[in-house]
Amino acid sequence: MGDDLPPDLARLRTLEAWAAHYLTRIRARIAAVERQQSQQRPPAPTATPPARPAAGPGRSRTPDWGLAEAGIGVPAAEIHRGDCWARGKTLVPVSAERARAELADGAQACEVCRPDRVLNRPP
């Protein structure tokens, strides 16, 4: 066991009572903060992730969805989430509707970011 705890039962029981009391206070504070945040938070999105702001002055924002055209290293068109690390450099920004249509027309879903799961298409 730990060497930092007292060896006698009386002091161990005192520590146990203090820890239980403090844990109750911590849980109450967590609940209060969660209530406060839920009142300040906008409603959760349904199918499309929220738009991300630009990364800095003069930079365009990251698109929510993108299409990587077939080409060198990409055997077929692929749909990616805008923040996917495997998207390559030539991601064409598309809307969620167009991404769904491309998937329905045979474009591949990226195996890394799995946009088909978010766009409500079975894998």
Is the full-model pTM beyond 0.75? no
- Per-chain mean pLDDT for the chain: 79
User: What does the pLDDT average to over 1-6?
Assistant: 77
Number of neighbouring beta carbons within 10 Å of residue 20: 9
Residue (of 80, 104, 106) closest to 93 by Cα position: 80
pLDDT digits (tens, 9 = 90+) for 59-81: 566 678 888 876 666 667 888 88
